[in-house]
Chain A
Amino acid sequence: MLLTRLLKPSVTASAHCDLPCGVYDPEQARIEAESCYKIIEKYNASGDELFKTRAIVIKEERAELAKHHIDVLWSDYFKPEHVQKYPEITELCWKAAKQCSKVKGSLDLGEAKTLLDMIDKIADVWTKAGGPQATRVAKAAAAR
């Protein structure tokens, strides 16, 4: 109806509850990706079939977690102003998420290394965008 369309508000305001803890760090993805890397190494060095089976299951789980952490950075941390300043971040996150899928289905150490490098590139942008100061809780000097 035309009248409804005319009257319909053009701006939507929210009265939501969100719970953004505000802590974002590519290190979280990197640790999972490092697990994948080390698991592949151990898989290749092992002759124990049971161990090898477990290694595959756990590596797939870790690759999925790495993908989740990259997705959280991309969808929750990086804001339009970051993308404007560092336009490469869209492709970096997208490709890294795809690389996680590759690592999930592969036992090639090279693929796991590529994922680590991709996460490091995301970390560079995160650092340049002020991520460490904006998102992490500082450690006490004594705990460093």
Chain B
Amino acid sequence: MTGRSMEPALRAGDWIIISRLSRPPRVGEIVLVRDPRDSEHLLLKRVAAVTDGACTVVGDYPEESTDSRTFGPVQFANVLGRAVFRYGPITRMGWLW
């Protein structure tokens, strides 16, 4: 991953395993979403609220984040999965929940 908006939970250069979701995302989870403005662009953000069919996502470091405050809620169809495990760098290896 790149960028600073999920610091300190995630840092640029982290290697992360994403698990597909078979249920709606839950508040507090870090999710991989398609940028609603550009479907080829993938973002990692934290779920702040879940409504019917969509969730509001924000960065942990809001000053450095472009998120639902800019592009609105993300439809569940654009939530590709949930960050579950960081496997790199080795010193920061660990579960993400």
Contact = CB atoms under 8 A, between A and B. Distances in A.
Nearest to B16: A9
Given A7-B15, A9-B15, A20-B37, A15 B65 contact: yes
Given A7-B15, A9-B15, A16 B5 contact: yes
Contacts of A79: 38
Interface residues of A, number: 15
Contacts of A13: 1-2, 16, 32, 42-44
- For the complex, would chain A's binding face be called helix, strand, loop or mixed by DSSP majority? loop
Contacts of B2: 12-16
Contact of B40 (A19, A20, A80): A80
Contact of B5 (A17, A19, A20): A17
Interface of B: 1-6, 10, 12, 15-16, 32, 37-38, 40-45, 59, 63-66, 87-88
Contacts, number: 59
A61 B59 CA distance: 39
Interface of A: 7-9, 11-20, 79-80
15 contacts: A12-B1, A13-B1, A14-B42, A14-B43, A14-B44, A15-B2, A15-B3, A15-B65, A16-B3, A16-B4, A16-B5, A16-B43, A16-B64, A17-B5, A19-B66
Contacts of A80: 40
B42 A15 contact: no
B4 A15 contact: yes
